């Protein structure tokens, strides 16, 4: 075994010779950034070899020093080695929130699991009924059905619970299409709380919110990064990772660990325990749903992009591996297609698209952009690959929207100099998605960026540095940053954002084309995803990410996946709407759409090749001149 020591963390691992440095880092518990999942393509896992012999399977990254190497494509040798590796910032602490002081306007009408007080008559020598028989007879009277499903765990505790409080039980019951599922039964005297948990299992970010369905209250929540990030940052890298030996099991365990950690944290915040949780609604995209269930997502990646399943049968917490009461009921939101998942069907619950006559557009922008168009009569949906630019990846100094990120910028028209705003108010460490949108919009309107996303080369600005055919923009001076030097934005960075915005816009455009309507026909555009909070709608329209319609028609939904999952715990109507809408959503696979590539190319300009479709932007351009 070869000893590998990492600096400056001093973390250590002992690995087989020929293991990669990335593998050693994983063993050592050191978080490396591996957005590409270890394929050697992203260059983000660069480390410095301090001592020891290593074997490089790929050339060093461009501009790298000789002692630098990619951790995923470099193997340790038989001799011990010391590696300098900056730990990835993903180990940032989970963030918690409490709702105790807030009035949450939920109407609880038909919670997923309800507590019922029943009195089971004591055993009699003459009727020959078992504990289970007597309890089921009583439940049958209450619910008007003899289809009552128990799991072994609840069955095991029943005899004792019946005898604690003279047969008076608190029964936690979930009514479904096929009868009643018992999520737990406790003596009334020692009954648990009746809580549920809404889980938004995102590719990057995961949230768990504890809900009291009886009171219609959210009690607490925790949000943190998905531990799977160490296996690849986007969905495609996760699918590749799952195909490795042991990869699927690892991804499943990492998803469970993440969710269970956040559930435990949220429970602690509201003073409740796992046994108080009798149900969970998990809202996740199709790939995440596959991974947490241990289903191989491989065929989602290969034409014709077939999911193993779209609708998940009702499960028990112990089957899935979630840390609720072990008999707890777990529902997964149904997916519609390979890349339009349960997070979207759930997110729609935060809109009135299922019931309204007016036509609306729902856009969830993340690494993938998911779009839904329609009303009570029809719903079209598709997903486009925006790439990680809006989440700060794919940008030289990109980062997520957290402390130290430039999230808003204004540009002085005459000098081209920026005035960046930094989250937290301190020095800048990078730029997040909404900052990039602001920056590009401002540079474009002030004439320092042309419609193809190239910097002005004739007029000179102290902020634009030319070097041969290349140009870059100085976003923040060295003394105002937390990194070793100024923050630069390159034309490549801008190009990445333009490709992302073109992917989203042209997908919207295509859906509208299918419906035979124009953007002006939209009564409302819903913006979902964490991204919304810092976003300037005006600049998003300016760069051509969003359609050019009046700003007041846009609504921020925030984390609609988590919010929708909360509603599913609380309301029978929400659960019925979910099934109804998921059942009638028409999934359009962009890779089969001849018109998509053309629309995409047309959208690769600021704001678009067809300026007439962006009249307000055209007006502002004229005004700026």
In what order do the strands lie in the sheet containing 277-284? 95-98, 217-225, 205-212, 195-201, 277-284, 329-332, 315-316
Given the complex with a copy of itself, which of 335 and 571 has the nearer CB atom? 335
Contact region with a copy of itself (CB under 8 A), list: 97-105, 150-158, 214-222, 442-450:
150-158
Residues in 163-222 that interact with a copy of itself by CB under 8 A: 163, 178
Which of 194, 227, 225 shows the shortest CA–CA distance to 210? 194
| 113 burial level (CB within 10 Å; 0-12, 13-18, 19+) | buried
**Number of residues in contact with a copy of itself, rule: CB under 8 A?**
46
Among 8, 105, 128, 425, binds a copy of itself (CB under 8 A): 128
- Residue 146 binds to a copy of itself (criterion: CB under 8 A): no
Contact region with a copy of itself (CB under 8 A), list: 21-29, 358-366, 487-495, 586-594:
586-594
Alpha carbon distances (Å) from 115 to 109, 173, 182, 184, 599: 13, 7, 10, 9, 53
- Residue 589 binds to a copy of itself (criterion: CB under 8 A): yes
Q: Which two tokens stand for residue 193?
A: 């709380």
Cα 112 to the chain's mean position, in Å?
24
Residues in 443-472 that interact with a copy of itself by CB under 8 A: none
- Residue 132 binds to a copy of itself (criterion: CB under 8 A): yes
Distance in Å, CB of 83 to a copy of itself, minimum: 37
Q: Which two tokens stand for residue 542?
A: 């300016």
Among 113, 310, 423, 511, binds a copy of itself (CB under 8 A): 310
- Residue 155 binds to a copy of itself (criterion: CB under 8 A): yes
- Residue 313 binds to a copy of itself (criterion: CB under 8 A): yes
Distance in Å, CB of 382 to a copy of itself, minimum: 12
| 599 burial level (CB within 10 Å; 0-12, 13-18, 19+) | buried
Q: x/- contact string, 285-304, with a copy of itself (CB under 8 A)?
A: --------xxxx-xx---xx
Q: x/- contact string, 314-333, with a copy of itself (CB under 8 A)?
A: -x---xx-------------
Residues 6+ away with beta carbon under 8 Å from 285? 202, 203, 235, 335, 339, 341, 342, 343, 344, 368
Given the complex with a copy of itself, which of 158 and 263 has the nearer CB atom? 158
Cα 428 to the chain's mean position, in Å?
25
Q: Which two tokens stand for residue 551?
A: 């700003």
Contact region with a copy of itself (CB under 8 A), list: 25-33, 125-133, 259-267, 609-617:
125-133
Alpha carbon distances (Å) from 199 to 42, 237, 284, 314, 567: 30, 23, 8, 15, 12
Q: Cα dihedral angle (344, 345, 347, 348), rounded to 10 degrees?
A: 120
DSSP state of 378: -
> Treating both helix axes as pointing N-terminal to C-terminal, what angle do 615-624 and 433-445 enclose, rounded to 10 degrees?
60
Distance in Å, CB of 194 to a copy of itself, minimum: 24
Contact region with a copy of itself (CB under 8 A), list: 126-134, 422-430, 471-479, 507-515:
126-134
- Give me the residues that bind a copy of itself (CB under 8 A), please: 123-126, 128-133, 147, 149-152, 155-156, 158-160, 163, 178, 293-296, 298-299, 303-311, 313, 315, 319-320, 336-337, 587, 589, 592
């Amino acid at each position: 075994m070869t000893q590998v020591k990492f600096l400056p963390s001093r973390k250590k691992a002992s690995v087989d010779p020929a293991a990669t440095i990335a593998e050693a880092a994983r063993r050592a518990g050191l978080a490396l950034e591996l957005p590409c999942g270890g394929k050697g393509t992203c260059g983000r896992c660069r480390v410095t070899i301090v001592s020891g012999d290593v074997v490089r399977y790929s050339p060093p990254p461009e501009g790298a020093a000789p002692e630098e190497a990619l951790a995923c494509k470099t193997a340790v040798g038989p001799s011990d080695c010391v590696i300098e590796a900056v730990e990835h910032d993903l180990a940032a602490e989970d963030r918690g929130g409490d709702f105790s002081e807030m009035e949450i306007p939920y109407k609880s009408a038909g919670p997923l699991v309800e507590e019922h007080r029943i009195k089971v008559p004591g055993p009699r020598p003459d009727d020959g009924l078992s504990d289970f028989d007597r309890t089921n007879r009583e439940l049958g009277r209450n619910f008007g059905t003899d289809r009552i499903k128990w799991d072994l765990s609840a069955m095991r505790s029943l005899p004792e619970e019946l005898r604690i409080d003279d047969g008076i039980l608190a029964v936690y019951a979930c009514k479904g299409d096929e009868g009643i599922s018992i999520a737990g039964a406790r003596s009334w005297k020692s009954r648990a709380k009746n809580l549920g948990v809404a889980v938004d299992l995102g590719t990057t970010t995961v949230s768990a919110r504890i809900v009291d369905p009886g009171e219609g209250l959210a009690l607490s929540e925790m949000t943190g990064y998905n531990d799977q990030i160490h296996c690849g940052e986007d969905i495609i890298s996760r699918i590749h990772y799952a195909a490795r030996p042991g990869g699927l099991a690892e991804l499943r365990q990492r998803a469970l660990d993440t969710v269970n950690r956040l559930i435990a944290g949220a429970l602690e915040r509201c003073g409740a325990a796992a046994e108080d949780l009798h149900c969970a609604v998990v809202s996740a995209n199709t790939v995440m749903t596959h991974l947490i269930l241990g289903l191989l997502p491989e065929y989602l990646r290969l034409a014709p992009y077939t999911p193993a399943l779209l609708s998940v049968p009702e499960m028990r917490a112990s089957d899935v591996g979630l840390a609720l009461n072990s008999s707890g009921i777990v529902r997964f939101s149904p997916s519609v297609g390979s890349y339009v998942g349960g997070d979207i069907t759930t997110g729609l619950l935060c809109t009135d698209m299922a019931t309204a006559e007016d036509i609306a557009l729902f856009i969830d922008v993340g690494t993938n952009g998911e779009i839904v168009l329609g009303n009570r009569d029809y719903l079209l949906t598709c997903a486009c690959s925006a790439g990680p630019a809006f989440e700060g990846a794919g940008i030289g100094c990109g980062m997520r929207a957290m402390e130290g990120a430039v999230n808003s910028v204004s540009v002085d028209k005459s000098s081209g100099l920026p005035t960046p705003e930094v989250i937290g108010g301190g020095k800048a460490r990078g730029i997040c998605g909404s900052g990039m949108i602001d920056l590009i919009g401002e540079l474009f309107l002030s004439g320092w960026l042309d419609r193809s996303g190239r910097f002005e080369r004739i007029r000179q600005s102290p902020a634009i540095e030319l070097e041969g055919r290349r140009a870059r923009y100085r976003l923040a001076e060295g003394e105002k940053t937390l990194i070793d030097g100024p923050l630069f934005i390159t034309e490549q960075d801008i190009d990445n954002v333009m490709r992302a915005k073109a992917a989203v816009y042209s997908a919207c455009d295509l859906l509208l084309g299918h419906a035979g309507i124009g953007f002006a026909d939209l009564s409302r555009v819903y913006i979902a995803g964490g991204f919304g909070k810092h976003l300037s709608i005006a600049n998003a329209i300016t760069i051509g990410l969003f359609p050019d319609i009046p700003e007041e028609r846009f609504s921020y939904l925030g984390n609609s996946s988590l919010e929708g999952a909360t509603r599913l715990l609380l309301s029978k109507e929400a659960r019925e709407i979910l099934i109804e809408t998921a059942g009638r959503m028409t999934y359009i696979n962009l890779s089969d759409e001849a018109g998509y590539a053309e629309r995409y190319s047309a959208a690769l300009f600021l704001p678009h090749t067809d300026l007439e479709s962006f009249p307000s932007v055209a007006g502002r351009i004229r005004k700026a001149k």
